[in-house]
Amino acid sequence: MKDLSILFCITVLATVCACKKDKYVGKDPYEGAKPPLEIELSSTTPLQGTVKAGAIVTLTGKGFMKYKDSGMVVKFNDIEGLITGVTDNGIQVKVPELASSGLVTLTIKRQIFAGPQVRISGPIYIDSLFHSVPGANNGITCIEYVPGNKYMIGGNFTDYDNSGLKDGVKGLARINPDGSLDQSFVVGKGVAGTVTSLIVQSNGKYVVGGSFGNYNERFKPGYISNIVRLNMNGSIDSTIITTQTGKKDTVPALNAYFDGPVTKVLQTADSGKIVVIGYFRHFLRKDFTISTADHLRDSVKIDSIRMEGIVRLHEDGSFDSSFNYNPVTRGSFSGANGFIMNAIMQDDGKLMIVGDFTKYHDKPANRIARLDQRGQLDNSFSADIDNTVYTVAAMPGNKYLVAGLFLKVNGGTARKVAVLNSTGAIDKSFSVGDGPLDGANGIISTAARLKNGKIFLAGGFDLFSGMKRSGTVILDEDGKVSQQFNNLGPISGGISQLLNMPNTNATLVVGYFNKYDLQSFNRIALLRY
């Protein structure tokens, strides 16, 4: 045992000595590195306001002359400008024609220096007089024009325009032409959830859809479920009933309920019928005038109709059994086998739906389908899209603008955005190009035609056809990046919807952004062009 202890000590001593003996110093990883350039580029700038493409501006700093002939490159938001002069304390550069608001950088010998952020003026700009600040304190998902030159907005915000109201402004607001809050529209305690879509009926009332279970805490649980109709002053459109026990009760006049969120509410142009789309399985009606079996207590009878994701109501809110309804099964035909992401109503009552489905009514319908006035597939339209379509918009000439995550339409290349004609064939006069770098390098979630004919796209991309475009881009009518209308800088957040204003070249954009073109705009902004 003693010998083993001596052997253990010798082994440990040998190990320690070996550790002390075998010191090794590796090669300095920074040995031979190039020293930093003796340059300072000011991140602040005397440039105030905006500058125009083609203007000569001066970047300030020091140490520039030493590197005058070393291949200086100045870029405006990744677009190279022409250097026209260099002094030790300044660089004169011509703002490039394709410049957009953003960061100015200087590159010398592969070293990049960050300069100031500069806003570029151009034919499209954001109206600073519109009340985008304070705006909404959370997302705006939808906006609609209201007669009287006002607008209804919905979303998951809890206040708008720093209202100062005790309960804020939750989920729904009416705003004036200048973007300020119209306080004559009273929501009280507001929407208990999120508003995703709304329409204005011919009688001036509003039908509001979303994911919510009450409004202004007006009713007991179960009296409102994901849809409600409001009067012009913001109160619920309600009616008084007499129960079986003789009591008076107030209930919603719109007798419509859904067992899942409503994502889209549309109406026909001719009859004012209401089409409701969403993630629901059943449409429900309620009879509040019955009693329990012993006739001692009032009760509610619920009539449930299986309607898979799409239903049409008459203008008064009653169920329309002439649309997407099978009287044999007493429910809808099989719906889309995936999500309906967006939809538009045509003037003739036909409905265009897009999403990530591949079938509708058990028939092939690859991410897009047109439904006739009965809710059946319109066989005069057929298109095959290879991936999700997030948005669809009407175009002149009975055409459709579609955008999303797809790369092919009807077997041909169409990189995330395309125009289809009335039969579903691709419009070859519109193309962003068919190369691997053409189009957006991320999804396109929103698309619309501006009043000047340009195409506005928004989504999760930062390049479009090789050009720096952080979240938005404007295309000419042929699909190419507009050479004049892309002066706006990055957007911090998403855009949910665009709405062209009447009688002027202007468009309202709403969403989840809080900055656009290097300026603060809280979820709403007015573009003029």
Beta carbons within 10 angstroms of residue 269's beta carbon: 11
CA dist., res. 337 & res. 199, Å (int): 27
In order along its 529 residues, the chain shows pLDDT tens digits of 444 444 444 444 444 444 455 565 666 666 666 677 889 999 876 556 789 999 999 999 999 999 999 999 999 999 999 999 999 999 999 999 999 999 999 999 999 999 999 999 999 999 999 999 999 999 999 999 998 899 999 999 999 999 999 999 999 999 999 999 999 999 999 999 999 999 999 999 999 999 999 999 999 888 999 999 999 999 999 999 888 888 888 899 999 999 999 999 999 998 899 999 999 999 999 888 887 887 778 888 889 999 999 999 999 999 999 999 999 999 999 999 999 999 999 999 999 999 999 999 999 999 999 999 999 999 999 999 999 999 999 999 999 999 999 999 999 999 999 999 999 999 999 999 999 999 999 999 999 999 999 999 999 999 999 999 999 999 999 999 999 999 999 999 999 999 999 999 999 999 999 999 999 999 999 999 9
> In this structure, what is the dihedral angle of CA atoms 51, 55, 60, 66, given to the nearest 10 degrees?
150
CA dist., res. 52 & res. 242, Å (int): 69
CA dist., res. 155 & res. 172, Å (int): 7
Write the burial class of residue 100 (CB in 10 Å: 0-12 exposed, 13-18 middle, 19+ buried).
buried
Nearest alpha-carbon partner for 437 in 461, 471, 409: 461
Show the tokens assigned to 490.
Answer: 């990055």
Token pair 């705003």 is found at: 175
Q: Which amino acid is at 188?
A: G
* Cβ 463 vs Cβ 469: under 8 Å: yes
